[in-house]
Amino acid sequence: MAIREIRTVPDPILKEVSQPVEKVDDDLRALMDDMLDTMYAADGIGLAAIQIGVPKRVIVMDLAKPDEEPAPKFFVNPVLSDPSDTLQPYEEGCLSVPTVFDEVERPDRIRVQSMDYDGNQVDEIAEGMYAVCIQHEMDHLEGVLFIDYLSRLKRNRAVQKVKKVEKAKDKDAA
Ligand code: NI
């Protein structure tokens, strides 16, 4: 298990469409373990493989509250369907767009079909935070970021802010 570098905007890899996984094997589980470690280390609740530079259709997530036991979830080749007509606004953030938060509206209920950590089929209805998070992470697999839903002005401002934050971090590390 290892903590990997999280790619941030405007890294062009974040615009790539991720490719389906052929089978869930130990190599893929090692990737999922690294993704989970990386996500926990960054205090995130969801992470797509492309965010650590791997263009595979894999997502990890943990929606447990800080005082609850960890509850990691793994999604391999996830497919979403049957979105609700009701939209819910939620203030989103993203480990690839650090320090930026803004409101995005998404269906508040959606069906999730996927493979899990062991390659078993999962078929669930996601609601609330789970619905928000899985839709946000699915977008990553298509090369879409939450800031793509904002106005061009807000999006450009977000990218500039992240560039500044990352530059300051590099300076601190040097
Ligand atoms: Ni994200």
Q: Residues 20-49: pLDDT tens digits?
A: 999 999 999 999 999 999 999 999 999 999
Q: pLDDT band at 66, cuts 50/70/90?
A: confident
Q: pLDDT band at 89, cuts 50/70/90?
A: very high
In 3D, which of 19, 7, 8 has the Cα closest to residue 142? 19
Supply the DSSP string of 82-147, one letter for each residue. ---S-EEEEEE--TTSTT--EEEEEESEEEEEEE-TTS-EEEEEEEHHHHHHHHHHHHHHTT--GG
Would residue 16 show up in a list of annotated catalytic residues for this protein? Answer: no
Compute the distance from residue 77 Cα to the ligand 1 centre, in Å: 17
Return the DSSP state at 53: T
Average pLDDT over residues 98-126: 98
The pLDDT of residue 98 is above 80 = yes
Q: pLDDT band at 174, cuts 50/70/90?
A: confident
In 3D, which of 104, 137, 135, 143 has the Cα closest to residue 35? 137
* pLDDT reported for residue 1: 72
The pLDDT of residue 173 is above 90 = no
**CB of 75 within 8 A of CB of 134?**
yes
User: In CATH, what number does 12-173 get?
Assistant: 3.90.45.10
Catalytic residue among 68, 69, 91, 137: 137
Compute the distance from residue 110 Cα to the ligand 1 centre, in Å: 18
pLDDT in tens, 52-63: 999 999 999 999
Compute the distance from residue 43 Cα to the ligand 1 centre, in Å: 12
Q: pLDDT band at 141, cuts 50/70/90?
A: very high
Compute the distance from residue 119 Cα to the ligand 1 centre, in Å: 24
Domain boundaries, the chain: 12-173
Average pLDDT over residues 1-24: 96
